[in-house]
Amino acid sequence: MRTLALAIVLAIASSGTASAQQDPPIDCANAMSQHEMNQCAYMDFEKADKELNTVYKQAMKARADLDKQSAEIDPIYVGAVKALKKAQRAWIDYRDGHCDGVGYQAAGGSMQPMLIEGCRATLTTARTKELRELIEGLGN
């Protein structure tokens, strides 16, 4: 379903006779058409996803450092990196499945991509906050 939503967004974004380079930038604070709102929702998700990827890399480094410290105590305590990878994969599956479900409120309608991408942006922003808290740990 995520692929379908992306295809819809891309099809909408590429429609029209003028190229995207010639179109004026969209003022997302004042988006009026569904086309503009869909594009703005997708741009919000892209921005949130970029930030998530940056913070995830920081969290992976922090987890690797923790594993290194744990290995010095006892190798049985190593596993922070593995746990974070497992959690992140599960979270991505959850986010995408949940947001696809949210999109069904407007199944086949022009606002379905906006609902999906808006949901993805919201959950991605929340996950980024969780990862930041994980990096901070117990006051580190």
* Angle between helix 34-73 and helix 112-136 axes, rounded to 10 deg: 20
* Count of CB atoms situated within 10 Å of the CB of 139: 4
DSSP for 25-53 reads PP-GGG--SHHHHHHHHHHHHHHHHHHHH
pLDDT of residue 21: 56
**In this predicted model, what pLDDT tens digit does every residue of 81-98 receive, in sequence order?**
999 999 999 999 999 999
Query: Distance (Å, rounded) from C-alpha 69 to C-alpha 24?
Result: 52
- What is the percentage of the chain residues whose pLDDT exceeds 90? 69
pLDDT of residue 22: 67
Question: Is pTM, for the whole model, over 0.85?
Answer: no
For residue 116, give the nearest of 105, 127, 125, 131 by alpha carbon.
Answer: 105
Positions in the chain whose pLDDT score sits under 70: 1-22, 138-140
